[in-house]
Amino acid sequence: MKKRISAIKSSIREEIQGKKEGWFRPVMLLLGAVILYNIFLPVPTFSENSPYTSLKKPAPTYGFPEIEVREDRVIREYWSQVTVYNSLPEQTSGDPFIMATGERVFDGAIAANCLPFNTRLRMPELSGDKVYIVKDRLAADKTCFVIDIWQDHTLNYPSFGSPITKIEILQGSPRMSFAWLNGVGYAK
Domains of the chain listed by start with CATH number = 2-55 (no CATH), 74-181 (2.40.40.10)
Distance CA 113, CA 177 (A): 11
* Residue 70, pLDDT above cutoff 90: no
pLDDT digits (tens, 9 = 90+) for 100-139: 888 988 989 999 988 889 889 999 988 888 999 999 988 8
Q: Distance between CA 39 and CA 186 in Å, rounded? A: 77
**Length of the chain in terms of residues written:** 188
Mean pLDDT of 19-29: 67
**Predicted confidence (pLDDT) at residue 53 exceeds the cutoff of 70:** no
Percent of the chain residues past pLDDT 70, beyond the cut = 62
Q: Where residue 69 falls among pLDDT bands split at 50, 70, 90?
A: low
Q: Give the model's pLDDT for residue 133.
A: 92
6-10, 38-42, 105-109, 176-180: the lowest-pLDDT one: 176-180
- Give the span between the Cα atoms of 157 and 139, in whole angstroms: 23
Instruction: List helix spans (H) across the chain.
Output: 2-19, 25-40, 46-49, 124-127
* Residues 6 or more apart whose Cβ sits within 8 Å of residue 175: none
CB atoms < 10 A from the CB of 180, how many? 15
Average pLDDT, the chain: 75
Model pLDDT, residue 114: 84
Residue 184 has phi, psi (to 5 degrees) of -95, 140
Q: What is the DSSP string of 13-59?
A: HHHHHHHIIIIIHHHHHHHHHHHHHHHHS----HHHH-S-GGGSPPP
